[in-house]
Amino acid sequence: MLKVNGIYKTFNRGTINEKRALNGVDLVLNEGDFVTIIGGNGAGKSTLLNSICGVFPVDCGSIFIDDIDVTRLPEYKRAKYLGRVFQDPMMGTAADMWIEENMSLAYRRGMPRGLKWAITSKERKMYREMLSHLGLGLENRLSSKVGLLSGGQRQALTLLMAVMRKPKLLLLDEHTAALDPKTAETVLELSEKFITEDNLTAMMITHNMKDAITHGNRLIMMHEGRIIYDVSGEEKAKLTVDDLLKKFADLSGEEFANDRALLN
Amino acid sequence: MLAFLSSLPGAVAQGIIWGIMAMGVYITFKIMDIADLTVDGSFATGGATLVVAVTSGLDVGLAILLAFIVGCAAGLITGLLHTKFGIPAILAGILTQLALYSINLRIMSQKANLPLSVDKYDILISLRNIPGALAVGAVFVVVIIAIMYWFFGTELGHSLRATGCNQSMARANGINTDTNKIIGLVISNGMVALSGSLLAQYQGFADINMGRGAIVIGLAAVIIGEVIFSKLFKNFALKLLSAVIGGIIYYIVITLVLRMGLNANDLKLFSALVVAIFLGIPYWKRRIAERKSINPKGAA
């Protein structure tokens, strides 16, 4: 499904701000894997996801999605394989456009965009139906500007837009971190629901160790640009937060340092 | 006062022509979120192209089309400088604008001014016939708004709007933001050049300096239209129309202040001040609102 072979990424090379973000990451995801990713500050979690998306080119290594080499493909061309939800709820939607317009943009991901009407009445019906499953009352606000929605509503909409085309890979980058606990719970439940229903392959970065354990079939721990722990199946299901903290200390020789994780 | 009233129709006609230019500015400034300074050059390019084309025997309709296409080419250059050379949009526009000064002189055979007599040539719009000019201008406005309304309702039009609104989101949804920025700049400068070609006919000449400060006039029209009509006009077609009305209001005000004795040479200073103030208003409003919200009668 996804094959990441030895990717390296250094930011600001040769300057005082030089930062080696990825230090040789190898990763193979199987069809239907739901991987949660944890790690301290600057471990390279977001850099890994952004490398897969093509936000920037990697220094070396290769990335395959379904045996298609996407390493040199620009971000907008890879988009057809990917669904993405960002940490910042403002980033995943176009604030000045309506809900239905945002959805029609996502619906055409990976398709050529020509001079046909952007939204058909059939689509509009489908969007309303999809929105009703979110349970947020958005199905009656198709022509509301997305900028008027709350952070949680925007994030739920972004999630829906990310999965509506059944992406080969769904990438969730701490997508509940900016939400209040209750809304975060709702969005996380929706994510779980979409992933299970459509049997999606997904990667989810989280700072919440409990969420990392309870969700998904596989867990990855990153440290200093490397994957230091990769566990799945039975073994993962049995993990506790204390196990994880101990594992981290053993493997990295450091205390787990993630300012947000400590607050949880 | 009577003199002012009698000069009103002329002001409205000029306002309509500049309003078409303002719709082009609306596309880059409001939709694509790019301040494109190419327009100061491409406006004159439109005028120069039209005069040269008509005086060498081309049909006026084709000459306007030609002016539009040449304007599109100017936008394409700015778009390429911005996206393929990585030059910030403002600077890319300034570079094209500067280059166009030389190109415009070449189009006009190194003359700074080329006349286009309405007596000798069959042209569409002239200040000798102001009712006719108003009618022709109105037709152009209606047709352009109709085309823009259609275009920005298409899949491609939506992807342009998304590019202007949120580039991360656009790319995550498979939109080539570079191509879209180029398309926006091309369309915008095509419209600006078309407007220049109408003004050259209206005033009976093309001038190398006819576009100087065009961006400021375009912005003035867009902002005046927005300030007055933003509560009233929600529909995209009406928002474009408000830019045209903004252009008309701008020219009426200009005519008025000239009648009141403003030195014509101070006009550009006046325009710059008007735009600076209108651009500042939203910022000041926000500042005042913030100050109020952090000081609710001594509460923490």
Contact B70, B46 (CB under 8 A): yes
Give A86→chain B minimum CA distance, Å.
9
Backbone dihedral angles phi then psi of residue A4, each to the nearest 5 degrees: -115, 120
Nearest C-alpha neighbor of A218 from the set A208, A203, A228, A206: A203
Tell me which residue in A84, A86, A97 faces B161 most closely, judged by beta carbons.
Answer: A97
User: In this complex, is the C-beta atom of A147 within 8 Å of any C-beta atom belonging to chain B?
Assistant: no
How confident is the model over B253-262, as a mean pLDDT? 92
With an 8 Å Cβ cutoff, are A105 and B176 in contact?
no
Per-residue confidence (pLDDT) for residue B279, from 0 to 100 = 85
pLDDT tens-digit series, residues A59-96: 999 999 999 999 999 999 999 999 999 999 999 999 99
Tell me which residue in B158, B168, B176 faces A118 most closely, judged by beta carbons.
Answer: B158
A86 contacts in B (CB within 8 Å)?
A: 168
CA gap B242, B249 in Å, rounded: 10
- Encoding tokens for residue A143? 């022509």
A150: Cβ contacts below 8 Å, ≥ 6 apart: A183
> Position B129: which residue type?
N
- Encoding tokens for residue B196? 């220049």
**B130-151 vs B2-26: helix crossing angle, rounded to 10:** 20
In total, the C-beta contacts within 8 angstroms joining chain A to chain B are 86
In the predicted model, is pLDDT for residue B278 greater than 60? yes
Tell me which residue in B153, B173, B176 faces A106 most closely, judged by beta carbons.
Answer: B173
CA gap A214, B167 in Å, rounded: 34
Per 3-state DSSP, what percentage of chain B is helix, strand, and coil (rounded to 5)?
Answer: 75, 0, 20
Kindly identify which residue of chain B lies nearest to residue A81, measuring between CA atoms: B174
User: In this complex, is the C-beta atom of A110 within 8 Å of any C-beta atom belonging to chain B?
Assistant: yes
CA gap A210, A213 in Å, rounded: 5
How confident is the model over B116-130, as a mean pLDDT? 95
A114 contacts in B (CB within 8 Å)?
A: 154-156
**Residue spans per domain, chain A:** 2-94+151-254
For the beta sheet containing A68-69, the strands, ordered from the edge strand earlier in sequence to the opposite edge, are A19-29, A2-11, A60-65, A68-69
A37: Cβ contacts below 8 Å, ≥ 6 apart: A45, A48, A203, A204, A205, A206, A212, A219, A220, A221, A222
Give which of A46, A108, A113 to mutate to test B binding, by max B Cβ within 10 Å.
Answer: A113
A105 contacts in B (CB within 8 Å)?
A: 158-159, 162, 169-170, 173, 175
With an 8 Å Cβ cutoff, are A76 and B171 in contact?
yes
- Encoding tokens for residue B206? 């093309």
With an 8 Å Cβ cutoff, are A76 and B166 in contact?
no
Nearest C-alpha neighbor of B196 from the set B14, B30, B21, B23: B21
Contact B167, B47 (CB under 8 A): no
Contact B205, B235 (CB under 8 A): no
Interfacial A residues in 78-97 facing B (CB < 8 Å): 79-80, 82, 84, 86, 90-97
Interface confidence (ipTM) of the complex = 0.93
**Average pLDDT, rounded, for chain B:** 95
Q: Which residues, listed in sequence order, are joined to residue B113 by a DSSP beta bridge?
A: B207
- Encoding tokens for residue A52? 């897969």
SS3 category, A83: strand
Give the other-Cβ count within 10 Å of B129's Cβ. 14
A108 contacts in B (CB within 8 Å)?
A: 155, 173-174
With an 8 Å Cβ cutoff, are B171 and A75 in contact?
yes
The CATH code belonging to domain A2-94+151-254 is 3.40.50.300
- Encoding tokens for residue B192? 């600006």
Tell me which residue in A79, A92, A101 faces B158 most closely, judged by beta carbons.
Answer: A101
In the predicted model, is pLDDT for residue B230 greater than 70? yes
> Position B18: which residue type?
W
pLDDT tens-digit series, residues B61-76: 999 999 999 999 999 9
Calculate the alpha carbon distances from A40 to A144, B14, B85 in Å: 39, 63, 38
Q: Which residue has the tokens 């977001």?
A: A46
Domain at B2-266, CATH from 1.10.260, 1.10.1060, 1.10.3470, 3.40.50: 1.10.3470
A178: Cβ contacts below 8 Å, ≥ 6 apart: A87, A88, A89, A151, A155
- Place B299 in a pLDDT band, splitting at 50, 70 and 90: very low
With an 8 Å Cβ cutoff, are A116 and B154 in contact?
yes
Give B103→chain A minimum CA distance, Å.
33
With an 8 Å Cβ cutoff, are A116 and B159 in contact?
no
With an 8 Å Cβ cutoff, are A76 and B174 in contact?
yes
With an 8 Å Cβ cutoff, are B175 and A105 in contact?
yes
B175 contacts in A (CB within 8 Å)?
A: 76, 79, 105, 113
Low-confidence ranges of chain A (pLDDT < 50): none
Contact B66, B180 (CB under 8 A): no
Give A243→chain B minimum CA distance, Å.
36
Give the other-Cβ count within 10 Å of A251's Cβ. 13
Per-residue confidence (pLDDT) for residue A41, from 0 to 100 = 86
- Place B139 in a pLDDT band, splitting at 50, 70 and 90: very high
Give which of B155, B183, B187 to mutate to test A binding, by max A Cβ within 10 Å.
Answer: B155
Interface of B with A (CB under 8 A): 151, 153-159, 161-162, 165-166, 168-177
pLDDT tens-digit series, residues B140-179: 999 999 999 999 999 999 999 999 999 999 999 999 999 9
Q: Which residue has the tokens 């209108």?
A: B278
Give A247→chain B minimum CA distance, Å.
35
Per-residue confidence (pLDDT) for residue B210, from 0 to 100 = 97
